[in-house]
């Protein structure tokens, strides 16, 4: 073969670099085709291709007890906590507040301050009533009224301060109610976590102690 003809033949034949590009290009097309065919096949069979959302490891390990304990730690004050008025939180202070309610004589202005403070708060023992009235003068209600009256008359607290202190006390002595409310606010079903709420005033449980979800009694205090 003449020398010029050999050069033309060599130039028209693909070199190694071109062959490599064609090979990998062909493989890529084949892979994409296989993926497309597989997707169509799954669609015809009704197989979902959704990828599940990742779940944090701590969520997988979290138990119902963990959820309740976490919320309780966030919103429920502990025994011995120091409120702004200086009397440590304790069930042993309940009778003191009841005694103050029974003995105190508030002025009309002081009574209005107390009423305005408690009106927005639900009574946890009958939550279709305001804490300003409750449905009855149970020991739970009298303790809150006594604390509120003490703060208005002795500490000269205003509406917001009384409301904050009363809510703190209520969360302390009737904690389950507020944990349940917070769970509902977060879209969590309390029943699935072993928590249920019935208004004790309406199911004959007024005489139960606070720790059992009752009103602490109507006469003698039951803590």
C-beta separation of 100 from 149 below 8 A: yes
What's residue 56's pLDDT? Answer: 45
Instruction: Pull the structure tokens for residue 220.
Output: 């003698």
Q: What is the mean pLDDT of residues 158-168?
A: 98
Whether the pLDDT of residue 98 is over 70: the answer is yes
Whether the pLDDT of residue 89 is over 80: the answer is yes
Other CB atoms within a 10 A radius of the CB of residue 202 amount to: 12
Instruction: Pull the structure tokens for residue 155.
Output: 């500490």
Distance CA 23, CA 44 (A): 32
pLDDT tens for each residue of 18-40: 655 666 667 777 767 777 666 66
End-to-end CA distance of the chain: 114
Whether the pLDDT of residue 221 is over 60: the answer is yes
What's residue 50's pLDDT? Answer: 44
Where residue 194 falls (left for φ over 0; alpha for ψ -120 to 50; beta otherwise) is left
Q: What is the mean pLDDT of residues 183-202?
A: 90
Where in the chain are the domains? 64-212
- Global confidence as pTM: 0.70
Instruction: Pull the structure tokens for residue 56.
Output: 């944090």
Q: What is the mean pLDDT of residues 142-146?
A: 98
């Amino acid at each position: 073969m003449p020398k010029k003809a050999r050069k033309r033949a060599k130039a028209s034949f693909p070199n190694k670099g071109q062959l490599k590009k064609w090979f990998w290009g062909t493989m890529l097309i084949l892979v994409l085709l296989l993926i497309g065919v597989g997707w169509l096949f799954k669609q015809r069979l009704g197989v979902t291709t959704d990828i599940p959302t990742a779940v944090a490891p701590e969520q997988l390990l979290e138990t119902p007890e963990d959820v309740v304990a976490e919320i309780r730690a966030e919103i429920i004050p502990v025994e011995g906590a120091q409120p702004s008025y200086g009397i440590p939180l304790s069930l042993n202070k309940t009778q003191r507040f009841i005694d103050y309610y029974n003995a105190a004589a508030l002025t009309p202005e002081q009574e209005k301050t107390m009423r305005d403070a408690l009106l927005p708060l639900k009574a946890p023992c009958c939550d279709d009533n305001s804490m300003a009235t409750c449905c009855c003068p149970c020991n739970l209600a009298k303790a809150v009224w006594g604390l509120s009256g003490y703060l208005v008359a002795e500490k000269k607290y205003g509406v917001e301060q009384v409301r904050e202190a009363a809510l703190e006390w209520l969360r302390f002595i009737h904690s389950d109610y507020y944990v349940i409310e917070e769970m509902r606010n977060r879209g969590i079903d309390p029943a699935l976590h072993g928590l249920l709420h019935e208004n004790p005033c309406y199911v004959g449980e007024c005489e139960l102690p606070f720790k059992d979800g009752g009103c602490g009694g109507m006469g003698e205090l039951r803590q």
